[in-house]
Copies of this chain bind each other. A is one copy, B any other.
Amino acid sequence: MVGFKNDLNIEDMLKEFRKCIIKSQKFENIDIMESMNRFSFNDVYSSIDIPAYDRSVVDGFAVNFDDVLGASLTNPVRLKVSGTVYASENTENFIEKGHAYRIYTGSKMPKNSDCVIMLEDTVDYGNEVDIFKGCFKFQNVSRKGEDLSSGQRIISSGTKITPYHIALLLSAGIEKIDVFRRINVGIINTGDELFDPDFKNTTGMMLYSLARYYDALPEIFISHDNIEDIKNKIKDALKEKDIVFTTGGSSVGEKDLVPESIESMNPEIFLHGLSMRPARSTGFAIIDKKPVVLLSGFPVASFISFSLFFNEFIKKYYNARPMRSPTVRGKITRRFTNNSGIKSLVRVKVYEKDNQIFVDPLRLTGSGILSTLTEANGIMVLDENMEGYEEGEEVTVYLTQPVGDEDKSIFPEIQFR
């Protein structure tokens, strides 16, 4: 009888994989406005203070803290109005004792003033103003350098750049940034059927789209079902690409030639075979210090393994902060049992009804069944030692797509990718 070379659990395999990935030294200098979702190559520091001066964060009256001590609705303090500071002005004003300046949000605080009384707590008579509330020092004031002080780090190496980073970098006067080069991904699909012009390489196209989804630069290679061709395609791909994925030919059949091809290429490391369903035939090798990841030819299994390995790769290659997958907890709608000794990744349909989240397990078998990937919006993990769930039990689901039907959340879609 035949079997897989290894029978690892996925955590162990990913741990070994992680050890083999070396941080990228490839970067490019690009415009800040083009940098969204790229990963910063270096730590970037501010060379200026933001704000450059103390400024008001409300509309109101800039006053001296001592002058309004004890002011209240029944005991207002009357001050002389020295003038008005508008947001766009960068003039130097000076406040005298017993005086106030009319001031707008964002405006520079006059010298000697140290807090701002909000407009709604004042009555403005033109030359004079009544103040109906005291303040504490620097209330309603944004201090010089409070947002960023000179020498402070704005972004650290390996951070994915968000719109907020872009705004902060621009406000610090930085208009170009070094980012890691995008990852070049080789996708080698094996199978004689791929050369049939009528055959649709759907697994290849899905992986191509997935790679683009991760902002990588994919290229598809197709190989016949023979060892020489597979070896040549892997060699070609390794020359130009940072990481290579193969699909098909990695199970245990007569025509499963990828593992054999890889063995013959003297890999530094080669592990394959998982105690997991789907994606049992997953594996990876390191050849010429570059990773070659073996995926199933089936869309569901290859999607799962691709995601797992590519995420690990990104983290080490870009020195990136780890990502947490969005999860929800919900009640499982039917009893679900697990094959003992095997980790199961179960596609599920998560939905909301009567303010409760329900989790409906889809079929576990059929890693060729693409439609369960579009129908499913989550993955439920059952560990090796888990027998299953009873109907109504609470389970945790990793979301792959949005949850219907009605959203009650106040902050409906803070996206992260």
Contacts and interface: CB of A to CB of B under 8 A. Distances in A.
A374 B411 contact: no
Interface string A132-158: 000000000010001110001011000
A57 B171 contact: no
B413 A325 contact: yes
A192 interface: yes
B162 A401 contact: yes
A46 to B, nearest CB: 9
A259 interface: no
Contact of A307 (B104, B166, B206, B411): B411
Interface of A: 1-3, 10-11, 33, 36-37, 50-51, 55, 57-59, 84, 86-88, 102, 104-106, 119-120, 122-123, 142, 146-148, 152, 154-155, 160, 162-168, 170-171, 173, 191-193, 196, 199-200, 202-203, 205-210, 212-214, 225, 251-256, 297-299, 303, 307-308, 311-312, 315, 321-328, 343, 345, 365-371, 373-374, 379, 381, 398-407, 409-417
A170 B253 CA distance: 27
B299 A167 contact: yes
A161 B409 CA distance: 23
Contacts of A50: 370-371
Contact of A324 (B37, B119, B165, B402): B402
A368 B343 CA distance: 48
Contact of A416 (B199, B251, B400): B400
A321 B155 CA distance: 34
Contact of A146 (B369, B399, B405): B369
Contacts of A58: 251
A371 B51 CA distance: 11
Contacts of A142: 366, 368-369
A306 to B, nearest CB: 10
A67 B322 CA distance: 53
Contact of A312 (B307, B403, B412): B412
Nearest to A37: B213
A-B residue pairs, 3 tightest by C-beta: A326-B326, A88-B193, A59-B253
A184 to B, nearest CB: 18
Given A88-B196, A368-B106, A322 B379 contact: no
A160 B196 CA distance: 31
A192 B399 contact: no
Given A155-B374, A213-B415, A398-B414, A206 B322 contact: no
A166 B200 contact: no
B59 A251 contact: yes
A235 to B, nearest CB: 24
B370 A411 contact: no
Given A104-B254, A202-B170, A411-B325, A164 B370 contact: yes
B88 A192 contact: yes
Contacts of A368: 51, 55, 57, 106, 142, 147
A104 B253 contact: yes
B403 A324 contact: yes
Contacts of A164: 206, 299, 303, 370, 373-374
Contact of A326 (B1, B210, B399): B399
